[in-house]
Amino acid sequence: MNEFITEHDIYLFHQGTHYFSYQFLGSHSATVDFKKGYFFTVWAPNASEVRVVGDFNKWDGSHFKLDKISNQGLWHRFFPSIPAGSSYKYEIHSGSDIPFLKADPYAFQSEIRPATASVLTTDSTFQWDDTQWRRSQKETNPLKMPINIYEVHIGSWRTHADGTLYSYKELAKELIPYVKSLGYTHIELLPLGEHPFDLSWGYQQTGYYSVTSRYGHPNDLKYFINECHLNELGVILDWVPGHFCKDDHGLRLFDGTPIYEYADPRKAEKRNWGTLTFDFGRPEVQSFLISNALYWLKEFHFDGLRVDAVASMLYLNFDNYDGEEKLYNSYGGEENLEAAAFLRKLNEVVFDYKPHTLMMAEDSTDIPLITSPTYAGGLGFNFKWNMGWMNDTLDFMERDPVYRKWHHQCLTFPIMYTYSENFLLPLSHDEVVHGKKSLLNKMPGDQWQQFANLRLLYGYMMTHPGKKLLFMGGELGLYSEWKDKEQLDWHLIDYPLHKAMFDFVKDLNHFYKHEPSLFECDHKVHGFEWIDPHNIDQSIIVFLRRGDLAGEELIIVCNFTPNVYYDYKVGVPYPGTYKEVFNSDADKYGGSNQLNVGRYFSFPEKWHGHNQHIKIKIPPLAISVFSTPTKGVST
């Protein structure tokens, strides 16, 4: 072998335990015998011959044949005098008489679509300047910190006047100060691996290590993330290990046979998506995917990964048609045991190398222990998207207030399982596309009621246990659902109700970030207490949120009808004075200004199971938040 790739590298890769396989697979610049050039290494176990072709050899690989260096299909060789920036592919000779071309699965850069070749890069010279941020993250516990994520699709957040896309560097100048001013703690970017089709939004990839060239050079993405960290914003990448697209230059039938996907088409096909499932039991695929997770975390300093479509990985019959013959595992169940084992391995490795990573499962299953450690039988994530809360809450909010009392359980039931996982509450891109309507247009009533309902929805989300996520544009109160071919409707900010919504989201985010009771005990039963979940007829709920320290308490009152109530009794835990500290019905937010002004003394009369109560005004379609006296002390 040689110094670049060792027998140990080869052994670990084929064992599924080489977690930095991108450091030797793919193309890497080097100097051998005083000659500059590139090493090429590719896994193609069933190929009879592999050549490198590109613009440097006029796409003729006759003199650029790779050597087979392992019985399990690794091909490798150094070629001198190939210039950086050259386009290349692998010419695979397999069972057929006609060779075919494949992009490099480990390429770090690709041509701009619709071109499909890989691009030779040099070692990154980017200088990171985020040491202070990274050190601060090691000193925090994400479960006890405020996490409020702004989800972004780079291609449609904002575009130039001529419709061209913003670059990573341009986004650093505009997106970062925008998100910071709104009070978010993190930005989540939809997938950035190279993908051929814009409207897949990056969820159907061909280049898992190749930062999409749509928005610039890989170093430009590093610049963007570095600037986020300097502005105290974490960055999360939407990561897609569940499936990949079928384009000819990609991973499908890479060496003429299924090596990245399952050989059994019943397990491989994601028919509803037109994609293929990775073979999670194959060691080389495990090395490929786990290395890819660490690649984004280590080389690009991402703070976390949102793991897409976990349910599609965990169930063998995820998208089977009714009546179709089902697949079963060796125990007779429908779970994909290989995928579950892969996810446990993934999380163990990630937390071993990067202990403070946010590993978030986008999972719609009711499989338990998704966020429990692997040693306790869990999958090992530290957060899970609460799809049940999202579905129940939107189902409730879309109903006319007259009928909401018949569906009151949509508000109360999610608390029954809130502490079964470490949940994040998502209002993501999936809820505002494909005919689902925008969040504003989901809301019933006239225009005033729609905006009031949306403010109430956001306020309820921000005060409910769990971390938070909102898709871009939600702060503007968009009428149209996400138009993935166009930028957001920025002109709406010039209209009073939309500007008021923008101001509301901004104030709500900052309020959340500075109130420990709203995030410190998100995942502890101590952090939430029902005061009144039973007022079905008036569709009013009252609950209490607690932080770690005495006095870190807030009382939240939500009214899901357009009625105003006066002298409404609310049971409270302590004697003393209470003060309204946030009200979504304020006129500056477009509300009717039914505020609770001044301080409210508690009455020594039992109500809602407490020895004290206060009398307050209940604003219409609104959330009111009250501070409590210092615990046990009258003020």
- Round to whole Å and give the CA distance between 443 and 621: 11
**Token pair for residue 526?**
């101590």
**Token pair for residue 5?**
């790739």
- Round to whole Å and give the CA distance between 627 and 138: 32
Cis-peptide, bond into residue 114, ω within 30° of zero: yes
**Could you say which of 227, 238, 284, 308 is catalytic?**
308
**Token pair for residue 322?**
């009714």
- Round to whole Å and give the CA distance between 126 and 183: 29
**Token pair for residue 342?**
């892969």
**Token pair for residue 295?**
């690649």
- Round to whole Å and give the CA distance between 150 and 171: 14
**Could you say which of 362, 522, 580, 585 is catalytic?**
362
- Round to whole Å and give the CA distance between 249 and 268: 18
User: How many Å separate Cα 537 from the centre of its chain?
Assistant: 37
**Token pair for residue 534?**
């039973």
Map 42-92 to HEC letters.
EECCCCCEEEEEECCCCCCCCCCECEECCCCCEEEEEEECCCCCCEEEEEE
Cα distances from 310 to residues 292, 294, 329, 359, 379, in angstroms, run 17, 18, 18, 12, 11
- Round to whole Å and give the CA distance between 190 and 214: 13
Over its C-alpha atoms, the chain yields an Rg (Å, rounded) of 27
- Name the residue with tokens 């905006």: 451
308 has catalytic annotation: yes
Q: Which of 419, 417, 353, 357 is nearest to 382 (CA)?
A: 357
Q: Which of 235, 115, 125 is nearest to 172 (CA)?
A: 235
590: left (phi over 0), alpha (psi -120 to 50) or beta: left
The string of DSSP codes covering 291-304 is HHHHHHHHHS--SE
Q: List CB contacts of 593: < 8 A, sequence separation 6 or more.
A: 585, 586, 587
Q: Are 459 and 558 in contact (CB under 8 A)?
A: yes
β-strands 622-627, 553-559: how paired?
antiparallel
**Token pair for residue 257?**
């046979």
- Round to whole Å and give the CA distance between 625 and 456: 12
Roughly how many angstroms between the first and final C-alpha of the chain, as a whole number?
77
Q: What 3-state DSSP class applies to 495?
A: coil
Element (H, E) at 237: strand 234-239
With b meaning 16 or more CB within 10 Å and e meaning fewer, what string describes 460-492? bbbbbbbbbbbbbbbbbbbeebbebeebbbeeb
- Name the residue with tokens 């996810």: 343
- Round to whole Å and give the CA distance between 438 and 263: 40
Angle between helices 168-182 and 496-513 in degrees, nearest 10: 80
Cβ contacts of 441-449, under 8 Å, gap ≥ 24:
441/479, 441/480, 441/481, 442/394, 442/397, 442/398, 443/397, 443/398, 444/398, 444/399, 444/400, 444/401, 445/400, 445/401, 445/562, 447/497, 448/590, 449/562, 449/621
Which active-site residues does the annotation give?
308, 362
